[in-house]
Amino acid sequence: MKRNLLVLFLSSIILSCAGIIPVQRDYIDGWIDSENSYKEHLPHTVISRSIENFLSDDSIVLKKKVLFIGYDGVRTDAIAKSEIKAVPYIAGFPAGGLFYSHVGGVSGQLQRTDSGPGWATILTGVWADSHGFVRNSVASKSSDASSFLKKAKLLDKNYVVASLVKWGTINDNILGDEKDIIDFQYNAKSDEDLFERSKKLLSDSDPDVVFIAFDDPDAAGHSSGFSPFSNKYLEQISLTDSYAYELLKIVEAREAYANEKWLIIISTDHGGSGTGHGGQSDHERNVWFVISEKSYVY
Ligand SMILES: [Zn+2]
């Protein structure tokens, strides 16, 4: 035990020296080891609302920008045990925070803990009984439930909004009814391709609201287990997170960065249990998100 504490202490020092703020691991571990109940956590619908709150904040004089990065199927206890940089980096912003949240709906409005319903809820801020994307094979979400990309356009038609994904269903089906509104959509061949195209977009052009969703952690979970003890799953989460970290650095290196105010959110669409998900167990429902300014969450 003492040795573990020493290792933890030394690794905190090394991480601090490297400019990387460690995520509050002991807090996550304590929660996982205790009741592990989703009931006290925020509903995932708050993500879209946080973006709306930010975009509607008239006190911001700089140019408002939003970047959402998704990691498909990343359990809370697994991200806590992965080698991560982007997630603690955002959580460690002076006004940033890490939140435990839940997918799967609420009593009377339950939805599958699958990618279609999960991403649709993140995008629209409502559960499946309102957005209509109740399973992965739906033609389109309901046009009554607007994504935060469309809501940005409704606030100001000059906003340039973009959606870049590996899982094409997000662009083709979930956002199917908004194809004419979204300025740039990209269905990548692989997560690596998604990373390259996202880098290019963020460095060479001027998008205002960007949604990016990486897919490989989910694939690793399906093949090797959604578990904090599955090394392949943890390694994949680390790789995906390293892509996100590089994208954050590209944002900070933008020529106009000093005149921009970025709200950055990283999250996932569902957890997992064994090699699957879709049900209502705590490990499928419990998720997390980090946000660069937590005051916009409520
Ligand atoms: Zn998924």
Which CATH number is 163's domain given? Answer: 3.40.720.10
Q: What is the whole-number distance in angstroms between the Cα of residue 272 and the centre of ligand 1?
A: 9
- Write out the two tokens for 51: 């973006």
For residue 47, the model assigns a pLDDT of: 97
User: Residue 86, class by beta-carbon neighbours within 10 Å (0-12 exposed, 13-18 middle, 19+ buried)?
Assistant: buried
Q: How far is the CA of 270 from the centre of ligand 1 (A)?
A: 6
Give the pLDDT of residue 81: 87
111: left (phi over 0), alpha (psi -120 to 50) or beta: beta
Position 14 in a domain: no
Domain residue limits at 256: 41-296
Distance 219 CA to ligand 1 centre (A): 9
Q: How far is the CA of 9 from the centre of ligand 1 (A)?
A: 34
Residue 26 within any structural domain of the chain: no
Instruction: Quote the mean pLDDT of the chain.
Output: 88
Q: pLDDT value at position 125?
A: 97
What is the mean pLDDT of the segment spanning 198-224?
98
pLDDT higher than threshold 60 for residue 220: yes
CA distance 247 to 202: 8
Residue 30 lies in a domain: no
The dihedral sign for the CA sequence 136, 86, 286, 99: negative
Tallying the residues shown for the chain, one arrives at 298
pLDDT in tens, 51-99: 999 999 999 999 999 999 999 999 998 998 899 999 989 988 889 888 8
Determine, yes or no, domain membership for 256.
yes
Ligand 1 centre and the CA of 137: distance in Å?
A: 13
Q: How far does residue 275's CA lie from ligand 1's centre (Å)?
A: 12
C-alpha 111 – ligand 1 centre gap (Å): 13
Query: Quick check: pTM over 0.85?
Result: yes
**16 CA to centre of ligand 1 in angstroms:** 32
Q: How many whole angstroms from 204 Cα to the centroid of ligand 1?
A: 29
Distance 198 CA to ligand 1 centre (A): 20
Give percent above pLDDT 90 in the chain: 77
Task: Name the pLDDT band for 181 (thresholds 50, 70, 90).
Answer: very high
Segment among 2-11, 197-206, 209-218 with least mean pLDDT: 2-11
Q: What is the pLDDT of residue 191?
A: 98
The residue that leads in pLDDT, 23 or 229, is 229
Q: What is the pLDDT of residue 40?
A: 59
Q: How many angstroms separate the alpha carbon of residue 239 from the centre of ligand 1? A: 17
Q: How far apart are CA 244 and CA 226, in angstroms?
A: 20
Residue 5 belongs to some domain of the structure: no
Q: For residue 20, is it within any domain?
A: no
Model pLDDT for residues 3-60, shown as the tens digit of each residue: 444 444 444 444 433 434 444 444 444 444 334 344 457 899 999 999 999 999 999 9
State yes or no: pLDDT of 119 exceeds 60: yes
CA of 97 to the centre of ligand 1 (A): 23
Q: Is residue 21 part of a domain?
A: no
Q: Grade residue 110 by pLDDT with cuts at 50, 70 and 90.
A: very high
| Residue 24, in any domain of the structure | no
Centre of ligand 1 to C-alpha 117, Å, is 9
Residue 127 predicted with pLDDT over 50: yes
Q: How far is the CA of 85 from the centre of ligand 1 (A)?
A: 21
Total structural domains within the chain? 1
Q: Please give the sequence-ordered ranges of beta strands (E in DSSP) within 86-242, or none if there are none.
A: 97-102, 161-165, 184-187, 209-214
Strands (E), 55-201: 63-71, 97-102, 161-165, 184-187
Task: Tell me the CA–centroid distance for residue 181 and ligand 1, in Å.
Answer: 25
